[in-house]
Structure 1
C-alpha cells in the first residue's frame, strides 16, 4: 500500500469520526464529565493517552479544570492532597495498564489513610478482556489488580450502568469509610452512545448513626470514669466541635493521631499532642480508667513508631468507628459504636449533659496533661529542638499554612512536636503506607483546594527526586506552592538507622543534584537559606509570588539554629 492510500484511509476514518460527533447523543465518556459536574467535581488529574482521549472530549466545554502531572503517581498524590484539604474525593483519569500500575502507590497510600479518591481508567475493549493477545497496555485482569487497593473496583460493561456505579462510588465517599474507588471503562464502552443513560444525580445516603444502646452504655462508662481519656484519629477530622465539647465536658485529656492534628487547637489545656509512642504519654494512657477511641485504627504508625510493642490500654475501651470491622482490629472494645464520629460524639455530649461526673480528678485532666507535655519537651535532644524550631518558624511566618510532608526527618519530628491550629492543616506520607515522593504533588493538590492559604511542601532531597518533575506541573497549572527542601545529601534517616545497627552504608549516599538550577530550569524561583532570619524573609517573599518557590536548607546549617 502506498502513502496516498494510507492518507485516504485516514481521511475517511476522520470523516466517519466527525459524522459520529455530529450526532446529538453524547458518548459515555462525555456523559461521564457531565455527571462528575453534577457531583461538584472541580478538578481532574491525569495524563491523556490514546486509551483515554475519549474521556477528554467533554472536558473543554465543562466547568472541570484538568491538571496534567508528569507521572500518574503524581496524579494520585495530587488527588490525595486535594481530598485531605477539602474532604471531597480527588478525581483522576488514568490510561489502561502502565498508567494504572503507576498510580497504584498513590492509591495504596490513600487506602491506608482512608482518603476518598475516584480513579476512572480505560481498559481494553470488552471482547478483548483477558484475551492474552498482547494488546496495547493489556493486563490479564486490571480489575483484579486494583480490587485490593480500593473500596471497590468495577468494570463498566454497559454505558447505561454508569450513573449507578458513580452513585455507588459517591455513596462510599459520603457515608462510609472513605477510600479509593476504581471504575474502568472498556474502550468500546467509552464511545458508546449515552442516550439510554439517566444523567441525574440520585440522593446519597447519610452517614450511619450509632445505636442508642451502644451510646447509652458508653455514656454510663464515661459518666462513672475518674480518669477518662480520648484517642482521636483521622476518622473524626470533621467533628472538631463535637470532640472539643465532649473533652471539655469530661475534662478528658486528648491524644491525636497525625491525620487528626488540629481537632483540638494548639495550646488547649487538654491536648496531649501526638506523642503516643513516647513513655510519658503512654503511662498516662495506661493510667486512664476509661479510654474513648474515635475514628482511629489504633495502628502501629500512630501509636508505636518506635516499634517496641509498648503501647497498651489498661482501662475500659470504648471505640467509635464508621467501619464496623475496624472496631474489632488491634484492641478489642468493651463498647463498640459503629457509626459516624460527629453524630456519636454529639450524642454522647447530650447524654452526659445532665449527668453528675466524679469530682475526684484533681491530679487528672489539664494538670496531668501539663506535666506530661513538660516531660516530653524536656526529653527532646538538640536535633529535635532544632527541627521543631524550623516548623514553628514556618507556622508563625505563614498564618493559616497547610503543610504537606514527605517521609523526611523534619516531618517525623513534626509528627511528634507540632500541634496544628486547625484540622486538615498537617498531613504527610510517613504514616500508614509510608511512601516517598508524596509531598510535592500532594502540596499541589492542597493548593488547588485552598487557593487563599499558603501551602508548604516539607520534603527531603531523596524524596524530592522521586517526583521532582511535578515542579513543571505546578508551574504549568499556576500553583504557587512553597517547597521547603531539607537536604541531608542522601537517604539520611536510613543512613542513621544503618549506623545505629552497625551496617555499612550501602545505597544511601546518593548523588545530589543542584536543586537550585533544576528548580529554575522548571520555571520556579529558588534560593538557599542558612538561618531563621533568612528563612522568614524567603517565606514571606514566596507567599507573594505566582510561581512555585524552592527553598533549600542544608541539614548541617539548620542544626546550628537550636533555640535555648
Structure 2
C-alpha cells in the first residue's frame, strides 16, 4: 500500500537484509524514521553522527553486511563524512541515507543549508547521488546493494529531498536476483602456474581483500613464504613457519622481498600505509590479483595482472596444485624466525614498553575476540607484532587514519555479533574524539572492555617532531579523570597496577553486562 517514501525506504532496506540502522533523527529526516519499527529494523541512537558512521563501519566489518546510517541534512551529513572517508579508504560497505533541502539555488538562509551537500559527500565515498523521485530512490538503493556484492565494497550516499520523503509512494520493488561474479578458471591461473613451476623462493603478499581459508594450504603446497598487510592479518597465522607476519613496513622487509624469485600480491593496494616506502622492493616478476583495476595499474608494474575475486582465485589455484607433490622450499624457517625476531626487537625499541602489554593481553583473550583499535602507539605496535588466529578479527583505521574510531566501531561490532567478545583499544587523546558514545554502550548493556593507553600526550607526534629536529609543541593536553568520566556515564572503570591485574580485570570485563574502561599507563609496567 502507499506510504510516505521515507517509510517505504525502510521496508526496502529490510527486504534486502538490513537489521540495524545507526543514526540520529531530526526534523529534516524524521520521515525516514516513520517506517523503521514497522519494518522490524532496530535503530541504535548515536550521540554524534561521527559515532553513527563509525558504528555502521564496525558493524559492516563484523558481519560482512553493509552498515547503514540515517542522518539529517547539512551538519548531519558533514559530521558523518569522516567515517565515510575511513570506510572508503578501508573498503568497507556502508550506505548513508540523508535528507536534503528541496531547493537551494534560489533560496538562502534555510535551516541546515549547505552549498552542495551531494558534492561534499562525493569527495569521501564511492558515489553520492540525489533521488528526486521514489523511483530514483529505489533504483539507487538497489544499485548500492548490487555493487556491494560485485565490486570493491565502498561507502555510498543517497540524499532525498524532504518533500519527496514526505510524499506518498508505492512500495519498492522486491529484491532482484543478485548478479554473479565470474569464475576464475584454469586458463586464468595458467600464467602463474608456469612461473610457480620454476620458482624456488615464491613469496605471497596477502591483503585485506584476499579472504579465503585456503591460503595456508596453498603456501605449504608451494613451499612459499608470505607477508600479510595489516588488513590481511590472520590469513596465515602464527603457526605457519614461513610466515613473516604483517611486517611489510619494516625497512628490512624490502631486502627479504628482493630475495624472492616470484612475488604474488593478492587483494592488496600495496599502499603507502602498507609499506611506508614507494616501492615494494621486488626484483623478480610480480603477479597481481585484485578486483580493482586501479590497483592493477599502479606503480608496482606487475608482470601479470588478473582482475578477479581473491577467494575464487585461491580456489582455482588450489584446484590446480592440490594433487601435486609438495614443493621443497628455497625458504627456511630459520631465516624467517631470525627476521621476525630482529623486527620485533626494532618495534620494541622504537616504542618501548608496549610489547609486554600486548603479550599479556594475548595470553588471556579468546580467539573469538574481535578487536577495534584507534590511531595510537599501542595499536601501531600491536598491529606489527600481534599474530591473529583468524582474519578480519582486528580492525584498524588504516588508510584515512582518523582518531576516535575504536569505541563507536567496537559498539557497532558488538551489535553485529551479540554475545560474542568485542574489545576496543584507544589512546588518551583519540578517545576524547568520540568518548560520548560510552552512553550508547551503557544503554545497550554491552560487556565491552575499552583499553585506554594513557601516556599523557600525543606521543607519536612528539617523537616525530623530535626526529625532525622540531621543538615539541602542542603535544600535551590536560586529560580528565578517565575512570570518573566512565563512571559518570554508568560504565565500570578499572586502573590495574600490573600486567597480572590487567589480565584479571580484562577477563571480568567480558562478563560485566556493561562497558568497562580499563585505564592503562606506562607506569603499570
Q: Secondary structure at the match of 2:446?
A: coil
Matches within 5 A, 1:459-498: 459-498=426-465
For each residue in 1:513-552, what CA deviation from the matched residue of structure 2 results, as whole angstroms up to 9, or x when unmatched? 1111110001100111121111011111111111110010
Deviation of residue 385 (structure 1)?
6.4
> Which consecutive aligned stretches of 4+ in structure 1 deviate over 6 angstroms post-superposition?
none
The question of 1:435 aligning with 2:402 is answered yes
Q: Is 1:33 matched with 2:2? A: no
Match of 2:197 in 1: 223
Distance apart, 1:242 and its partner CA: 2.4
The CA distance in 2 between the partners of 1:168 and 1:189, in whole Å, is: 20
- Which residue number corresponds to residue 401 of structure 1? 369
> Is 2:120 the counterpart of 1:145?
yes
Match for residue 288 of structure 2 among 319, 326, 329: 319
Task: Find 1:330's aligned residue among 299, 302, 309.
Answer: 299
Aligned partners of 1:506, 1:471: CA distance in 2, in Å? Answer: 30
Deviations 1:362-381 (A, max 9, x none): x4154432332233234443
Larger radius of gyration: 1
Match of 2:67 in 1: 90
TM-score, L = length of structure 2: 0.96
CA pair 170-310 structure 1, distance change in 2 beyond 3 A? closer
C-alpha distance in structure 2 between counterparts of 1:141 and 1:209, whole Å:
41
Q: Structure 2: how far apart are the matches of 1:208 and 1:256?
A: 26
Partner of 1:501: 468
The separation in 2 between residues aligned to 1:381 and 1:440, in whole angstroms, is 26
Distance 2:347 2:401 in 1: 24
Paired with 1:358 and 1:519, the residues of 2 have a C-alpha distance of 56
**Equivalent pair of 1:223/1:358 in contact (CA under 8 Å):** no
Gaps (5+ residues) in structure 2?
A: none
Task: Extract unaligned runs of 5+ from structure 1.
Answer: 1-23
1:346 and 2:315 are equivalent in the alignment: yes
Secondary structure of residue in 2 paired with 1:271: coil
Residue 401 and residue 357 in structure 1: after superposition, are their counterparts in 2 closer, same or farther (change >3 A)? closer
Q: Give the whole-Å Cα distance in 1 for the aligned partners of 2:215 and 2:410.
A: 27
How many residues get paired?
524
Q: Are the equivalent residues in 2 in contact too, given 1:79–1:92 (CA < 8 A)?
A: yes
CA distance, structure 2, for counterparts of residue 142 and residue 470 of structure 1: 26
- 1:102 match: 79
Q: Distance in 1 between matches of 2:217 and 2:324?
A: 15
Q: 1:200 offset after TM fit, Å?
A: 0.4
Q: Distance in 2 between matches of 1:299 and 1:383?
A: 22
- What's the counterpart of residue 216 of structure 2? 244
Distance 1:67 1:228, change over 3 A: same
1:41-65 residue CA offsets vs partner (Å, 9 max, x unmatched): 1110101011111000011223211
Matched, 1:269 2:246: no
Counterpart CA distance in 1 for 2:227 and 2:104 is: 49
Query: Aligned-pair distance for 1:118?
Result: 0.5
Distance change in 2, residues 1:233/1:292 (3 Å): same
Cα distance in 2 between the residues matched to 1:328 and 1:88: 29
* Partner SS state of residue 168, structure 2: coil
Q: TM-score, normalised by structure 1?
A: 0.89
Encode CA deviations 1:264-323: one digit per residue, 9 max, x unaligned.
12222232101112244322211111111000001111112xx5x464121110000011
1:234/1:259 contact within 8 Å kept: yes
CA distance in 1, matches of 2:327, 2:361: 42
